[in-house]
Amino acid sequence: MKTIIEPFRVKVVEPIKMTTRAERESHLKDAAYNLFLLKADNVIIDLLTDSGTAAMSAEQWSALMRGDESYAGSRSFYRFEEVVRDIFGFKQVIPMHQGRAAERILFSIMCKRGSIVPNNTNFDTTRANLEYLGAEAVDLPIPEFYQPAVNHPFKGNMDTEALERLIKEVGPERIPLVMLTVTNNSGGGQPVSMANIRAVKAICYRYDLPLYFDACRFAENAYFIKLREAGYADMSVKEIAREMFSYADGCTMSAKKDGLANIGGFLCTNDDQLAQQERDLTILSEGFPTYGGLAGRDLEAIAVGLEEVLDEDYLQYRFASIRYLGEHISLAGVPIVQPPGGHAIYIDACAMLPHIPTFQFPGQALAIELYREAGIRSCEIGSVMHSKKNNEEPPSSMELVRLAIPHRVYTQSHIDYVIEALLRVYERRESIGGYYIVSQPKFLRHFTACFEPVHAQKDLESLRSFDRELVLSHS
The residues of the shown chain that bind ligand PLP, judged by CB under 6 A, are 51, 98-100, 123, 125-126, 181, 185, 214, 216, 254, 256, 265
Q: Residue 212 or 435: which CB sits closer to ligand PLP? A: 212
Judged by beta carbon, residue 19 or residue 49, the one nearer ligand PLP is 49
Report the residue number, 123 or 346, with the smaller CB distance to ligand PLP: 123
By beta-carbon proximity to ligand PLP, the closer residue of 27 and 402 is 402
H-helix or E-strand containing 245? helix 237-246
Taking alpha carbons only, the member of 88, 93, 176, 189 closest to residue 136 is 176
Residue with Cβ nearer ligand PLP (267 or 470): 267
- Closest separation in Å from C-beta 92 to ligand PLP: 19
Torsion angle, alpha carbons of 280, 285, 290, 294, to 10: -170
Residue 188 and residue 209: Cα distance in Å, rounded? 27
Q: Which is nearer to ligand PLP, 96 or 310 (CB)?
A: 96
Q: What are phi and psi of 316, to 5 degrees?
A: -60, -45
For residue 345, list its beta bridge partners: 403
- Nearest distance, CB of residue 465 and ligand PLP, angstroms: 33
In the complex, least distance from residue 459 CB atom to ligand PLP, rounded to whole angstroms? 37
**What's at 61, amino acid-wise?**
W
Least distance (Å) from ligand PLP to the CB of residue 401? 16
At its nearest, how many Å lie between ligand PLP and the CB of residue 96?
8
Largest CA distance in the chain: 64
- Give which of 126, 125, 341, 322 is closest to 228, Cα–Cα: 341
* CB closer to ligand PLP out of 197 and 334: 197
DSSP state of 336: B
Measured distance CA(470)–CA(270) in Å, rounded? 43
What backbone phi and psi angles, to 5 degrees, belong to 270? -100, 0
Cβ at position 97, least distance to ligand PLP in Å: 8
Q: Residue 455 corresponds to which amino acid?
A: H
Q: Name the nearest CA neighbour of 387 among 186, 232, 216, 239.
A: 186
Cβ partners under 8 Å of residue 84, min gap 6: 90, 93, 266, 268, 303, 306
Q: Which of 116, 168, 120, 175 is nearest to 142 (CA)?
A: 120
> 19 vs 51, which CB is nearer to ligand PLP?
51
Can you tell me whether residue 22 is helix, strand or coil? helix
